[in-house]
A and B are shown apart, each in its own frame.
Chain A
């Protein structure tokens, strides 16, 4: 199972990468929205985990790009408190789930498992 992580903060990106690798997933990381959209097209990940606020292209554009693909990756959006409207927009674009920062890695792993089960 290939998961794409789009996160601009270096240590947070690394944390997510290591945690997901530990859970047994193949992980691709991107530090900005433009790169993420490019990798969605070339790598065709089964799942995308994206921050809402990213340089160049926002998380919403990533959701749109992920859902525009033929294989339609599952998308989990990471938001900050007070971004409820953006979450609504993300759901309208087809996002499958969201998590509000700060979140626990255990909960993230559980959400991913649930989404993976839905994909299968």
Chain B
């Protein structure tokens, strides 16, 4: 037997011997009837405690459920009747049992949730009644508490409740959160000030340093559609286009597009040389939608310097605005480019560039069947 193996065997035997000597008294001691009985008693106590805990938990859950149902039944009918009432709810009488119920936090939260959900769905007199009820039942204090919470999700919820209930006096407090480091809080605050002040609320764009996500931009645009367009928008967009926050530039470009701000075409066109690729991409889309006479030439002038994805965006844009004047450029791209995606997009734009576009493609397909015959067939199939 080699030396290391011998050492291992000796070690193993030593460990086993030590274990045998030390555990034998342990087992013999705890196998005594007294100890066994004590162990059984301890286990019985543990099992009973667990069973009681489970029972209490289930009992509380059941009690809460019935309490919720009770609140729902007590409040729902009255709430609905008050909302649809054609008399303003400001001076409505709150039933005594309801007032008693509303001292419970759960009941107040239930009412706030129901009012908020309904406020999202209803406008007009019913919408006004919801706000009046919220104020009449003094629920604003609950929303304020939420807004002061250190938990982001509660804070965001509080902001939402306050703006949906048109609490104009909370404007400053909400505005302070438009550049919060938490995205959810920031999003709710930005939506909130637009909800409360319409286009004036866009002043947060002057200070916001965090990115505005694409989803949030969509939400803001939707919110703005509910307000009359500001007369000063054309003066403000060029300022936002200079923002160091690229998402602000992108959003400003979307505003120029959505509200067709032709007077600031030059400011929009200047974004075509913006250092950020995504800003340039949005600038291309906005310019296409503004459809100025110079746009096709401008896009063509910047085509070579652009990134691959922006080249595709330019070609997609040219499909909508190119005329016969741009046909030679598109034809050249078809010839020069080795990339099939670019070729297809160029062909599609060429087909739409005036009545002769399709004929030009056909001639190319005849002169050089590979790859133009396939491209021609593809575009032809699309136009059917």
Measured between beta carbons, the chain A residues less than 8 angstroms from B114 are 10-11
Given known contacts A14-B80, A18-B80, A81-B225, is B126 in contact with A9 (CB within 8 Å)? Answer: no
Q: How many A-B residue pairs have CB under 8 A?
A: 64
Shortest distance in angstroms between A116's beta carbon and chain B's nearest beta carbon? 19
Interface residue A12 (Cβ < 8 Å from any Cβ of B): yes
Q: Is the interface of A mostly helix, strand, loop or mixed?
A: helix
Counting contact residues on chain B (CB < 8 A from A), the size range is 20 to 34
Q: Which of B88-96, B117-125, B239-247, B320-328 contacts A (4 or more CB under 8 A)?
A: B117-125
A102 near B127 with CB under 8 A, answer yes
Partner of B84, one of A82, A102, A105: A105
A105-B77 Cα distance, complex, nearest whole Å: 17
A104 near B118 with CB under 8 A, answer no
Measured between beta carbons, the chain B residues less than 8 angstroms from A22 are 84
Measured between beta carbons, the chain A residues less than 8 angstroms from B126 are 15, 104-105
Most interface-central of A11, A81, A106, A107 (chain B CB within 10 A): A11
Given known contacts A104-B127, A105-B125, is B84 in contact with A11 (CB within 8 Å)? Answer: no
Closest to A21 in B: B84
Partner of A102, one of B79, B81, B123: B123
Measured between beta carbons, the chain B residues less than 8 angstroms from A102 are 119-123, 127
A22-B126 Cα distance, complex, nearest whole Å: 14
A79-B119 Cα distance, complex, nearest whole Å: 15
Interface residue A103 (Cβ < 8 Å from any Cβ of B): yes
Interface residue A120 (Cβ < 8 Å from any Cβ of B): no
A107-B127 Cα distance, complex, nearest whole Å: 13
A15 near B122 with CB under 8 A, answer yes
Closest to A9 in B: B117
Measured between beta carbons, the chain B residues less than 8 angstroms from A106 are 124-125
Most interface-central of B80, B83, B117, B120 (chain A CB within 10 A): B80
Measured between beta carbons, the chain B residues less than 8 angstroms from A19 are 84
Measured between beta carbons, the chain B residues less than 8 angstroms from A107 are 124
Measured between beta carbons, the chain B residues less than 8 angstroms from A81 are 222, 225-226
A18 near B81 with CB under 8 A, answer yes
Measured between beta carbons, the chain B residues less than 8 angstroms from A85 are none
Shortest distance in angstroms between A110's beta carbon and chain B's nearest beta carbon? 11
A18-B79 Cα distance, complex, nearest whole Å: 11
Measured between beta carbons, the chain A residues less than 8 angstroms from B127 are 102, 104
Given known contacts A81-B225, A105-B126, is B121 in contact with A9 (CB within 8 Å)? Answer: yes
Counting contact residues on chain A (CB < 8 A from B), the size range is 10 to 19
Interface residue A114 (Cβ < 8 Å from any Cβ of B): no
Closest to B115 in A: A11
Interface residue B76 (Cβ < 8 Å from any Cβ of A): yes
Measured between beta carbons, the chain B residues less than 8 angstroms from A10 are 72, 76, 114
A103-B124 Cα distance, complex, nearest whole Å: 7
Given known contacts A12-B118, A14-B77, is B84 in contact with A104 (CB within 8 Å)? Answer: no
A9-B125 Cα distance, complex, nearest whole Å: 20
A18 near B121 with CB under 8 A, answer no
Interface residue B46 (Cβ < 8 Å from any Cβ of A): no
Shortest distance in angstroms between A59's beta carbon and chain B's nearest beta carbon? 14
A81-B225 Cα distance, complex, nearest whole Å: 9
Shortest distance in angstroms between A63's beta carbon and chain B's nearest beta carbon? 19
Shortest distance in angstroms between A18's beta carbon and chain B's nearest beta carbon? 5
Measured between beta carbons, the chain B residues less than 8 angstroms from A12 are 117-118, 121-122
Shortest distance in angstroms between B137's beta carbon and chain A's nearest beta carbon? 14
Shortest distance in angstroms between B265's beta carbon and chain A's nearest beta carbon? 27
Shortest distance in angstroms between B261's beta carbon and chain A's nearest beta carbon? 22
B79 near A104 with CB under 8 A, answer no
- B residues 88-143 near A (Cβ < 8 Å) are 114, 117-127
Q: Which residues of B contact A (CB under 8 A)?
A: 72, 76-77, 79-81, 83-84, 114, 117-127, 218, 222, 225-226
Known: A9-B121, A12-B121, A104-B124. 12 other contacts (CB 8 A): A10-B72, A10-B76, A12-B118, A15-B122, A18-B81, A19-B84, A78-B121, A82-B218, A82-B222, A103-B123, A103-B124, A105-B125
Could you list 19 A-B pairs, sorted by A, with CB under 8 Å? Answer: A9-B117, A9-B121, A10-B72, A11-B76, A11-B80, A11-B83, A11-B117, A12-B122, A14-B80, A15-B84, A18-B81, A102-B121, A102-B122, A103-B122, A103-B124, A104-B123, A104-B125, A104-B126, A106-B125
- The 3 A-B residue pairs with the shortest CB-CB distance in the complex, in nearest-first order: A104-B124, A102-B123, A14-B80
